[in-house]
Chain A
Amino acid sequence: MPDGKFCTCEECARSKYGPIGNEERLGRVGINPRHVKNGVLKPGIFPPTHLERKGLSVTRVDVIDLDELTKQAQKQVINEGEMVEGVVLLETAVIRAEIDEHGNRCLCAFDDPVDGNEAHACILRSANQDETEIRRLRGRLLELYPKTTPLSEVYPAGDGES
């Protein structure tokens, strides 16, 4: 794991679940057709300013169960004709291992509970990467995770919560 000096926020516990473990999966809900074209994710699912400033919203799928994940996902169906495609299952260890050309970490993943979703977390740039670097990073995310996983396949059969 690269040096974590850029992401001290990862050590803070803000929810009852505590800091995010490297073994955890972080789910980003994909809505069809908003985020998906022909089964493949569009870059728009990772808004540049969210990676840069606001924080990319994800859910800690391994601290909740399928019912709660489904509830969180359905909340994001906003417009007529939309449906939940699935979740992009980002692996915390992989996100934290992403490094730039200088060997420095690019992305932090930290605990960030919000009203109505105690399992909410954020992914954010680690330093002052510029707009073009943010685009490279979202391209990298799309390369690592080109598709969503159906909600029904997030948890092993008969094991709603790990």
Chain B
Amino acid sequence: MTSLAETLLDRADGPSTGFRGDSSALYNPNLNIKELMVPSAEPTSPFRIQHATLAALALVALNAGSTSPGTFKINDLSETNRSFSPDHRFAFIPDRLVPLLGELTSFQSLQNGWDGPDSVAPSADVIDLARKFLMNLPGDISLPDTTVSADGEVGFYWKADGVYIDVGFPTDGRISYYAEANGKVARFAGPYKGQSVPDDLVEVINNI
């Protein structure tokens, strides 16, 4: 069976780096999103549209409300998603991540000096890296809270009795974490491109 993502990609008439610009002029209420849908036997998982056209994405996004609950969710035009650079937008955002992504988005409005005279606002690249990390968390894992520091670092944390997990993105391309949950510990600081969540970290989070 063909997934929605594959269908969209098949219909793309040329390579693109993602959704760009205001799509409102492309909205056509007579178009039916279901025309683009082919039922998939597999549950839909988060995916990133890399080669879809503007028209296809706008069509899907603006007609998302007409789809059956649980089939899929496209909210590429959400304020949260639009706040990210075009190359980093996701066509699919699990509902449970939306509040956290919204908090990350709010960090973009911070200016230097936001937390005292020498404080630094987080860069867009650092926020994007944090967003990638979040989107790559396994679907059944417990979710963190967000935090931002005066040194421009964006991060996530899990805190409970016997649990302290602190993941930070101090600069673009770097991750640093200390994770402790009920006896299990993981720690690392080094390069990170947001491609996946480190296995040892997932193991500790799963031990919460």
Whether B114 pairs with A78 at a CB distance below 8 angstroms is yes
Tell me if A162 counts as interface (CB < 8 A to partner B).
Answer: no
Q: Is the interface of A mostly helix, strand, loop or mixed?
A: helix
Whether B147 pairs with A131 at a CB distance below 8 angstroms is no
Whether B178 pairs with A136 at a CB distance below 8 angstroms is yes
Tell me if A47 counts as interface (CB < 8 A to partner B).
Answer: yes
Task: Please name all residues of chain A whose beta carbon is closer than 8 Å to the beta carbon of B170 when the two chains form the complex.
Answer: 48-49, 131
Beyond A79-B114, A136-B187, 17 additional pairs, beta carbon < 8 A: A31-B115, A40-B159, A43-B147, A43-B149, A46-B149, A47-B149, A47-B153, A48-B149, A48-B170, A48-B176, A49-B170, A132-B178, A132-B189, A133-B187, A136-B164, A139-B164, A142-B159
Tell me if B148 counts as interface (CB < 8 A to partner A).
Answer: yes
Chain A 138-153 interface mask (CB, 8 Å, partner B; 1/0): 1100110000000000
Closest Cβ of chain B to A134, distance in Å, is 8
Closest Cβ of chain A to B148, distance in Å, is 5
Chain A 23-37 interface mask (CB, 8 Å, partner B; 1/0): 000000001001001
Tell me if B155 counts as interface (CB < 8 A to partner A).
Answer: yes
Chain A residues proximal to chain B, CB less than 8 Å: 31, 34, 37, 40, 42-44, 46-50, 54, 57, 76, 78-79, 130-133, 135-136, 138-139, 142-143
Give the CA-CA distance A92 to B168 in the complex, in Å. 27
Whether A131 pairs with B176 at a CB distance below 8 angstroms is yes
Task: Please name all residues of chain B whose beta carbon is closer than 8 Å to the beta carbon of A44 when the two chains form the complex.
Answer: 147-150, 153, 155
Give which listed residue, B150, B176, B177, contacts A50 with CB less than 8 A: B150
Tell me if B113 counts as interface (CB < 8 A to partner A).
Answer: yes
What are 14 A-B contacts defined by CB distance under 8 Å?
Answer: A42-B145, A43-B147, A43-B155, A44-B149, A76-B116, A78-B115, A131-B189, A132-B177, A135-B166, A136-B178, A138-B166, A139-B159, A139-B178, A142-B159
Closest Cβ of chain A to B182, distance in Å, is 14
Closest Cβ of chain B to A81, distance in Å, is 12
Give which listed residue, A48, A54, A133, contacts B168 with CB less than 8 A: A48
Whether B150 pairs with A132 at a CB distance below 8 angstroms is no
Chain B residues proximal to chain A, CB less than 8 Å: 113-116, 118, 145, 147-151, 153, 155, 157, 159, 164, 166, 168, 170, 176-178, 180, 187-189
Whether B114 pairs with A37 at a CB distance below 8 angstroms is no
Q: Which residue of A lies closest to B119 (CB)?
A: A47
Give the CA-CA distance A46 to B155 in the complex, in Å. 12
Task: Please name all residues of chain A whose beta carbon is closer than 8 Å to the beta carbon of B155 when the two chains form the complex.
Answer: 43-44
Whether A42 pairs with B150 at a CB distance below 8 angstroms is no
Q: A43-B166, A132-B178 are in contact. Are A49 and B151 (CB under 8 A)?
A: yes
Give the CA-CA distance A76 to B159 in the complex, in Å. 26
Q: A37-B145, A43-B147, A142-B164 are in contact. Are A135 and B113 (CB under 8 A)?
A: no
Task: Please name all residues of chain A whose beta carbon is closer than 8 Å to the beta carbon of B157 when the two chains form the complex.
Answer: 42-43
Whether B176 pairs with A135 at a CB distance below 8 angstroms is yes
Task: Please name all residues of chain A whose beta carbon is closer than 8 Å to the beta carbon of B148 when the two chains form the complex.
Answer: 44
Whether A135 pairs with B116 at a CB distance below 8 angstroms is no
Task: Please name all residues of chain B whose beta carbon is closer than 8 Å to the beta carbon of A143 when the two chains form the complex.
Answer: 164
Task: Please name all residues of chain B whose beta carbon is closer than 8 Å to the beta carbon of A47 when the two chains form the complex.
Answer: 149-151, 153
Q: Which residue of A lies closest to B109 (CB)?
A: A79
Give the CA-CA distance A132 to B164 in the complex, in Å. 12
Q: A78-B115, A131-B176 are in contact. Are A48 and B151 (CB under 8 A)?
A: yes
Q: Which residue of B lies closest to A79 (CB)?
A: B114
Whether B189 pairs with A34 at a CB distance below 8 angstroms is no
Closest Cβ of chain B to A19, distance in Å, is 25
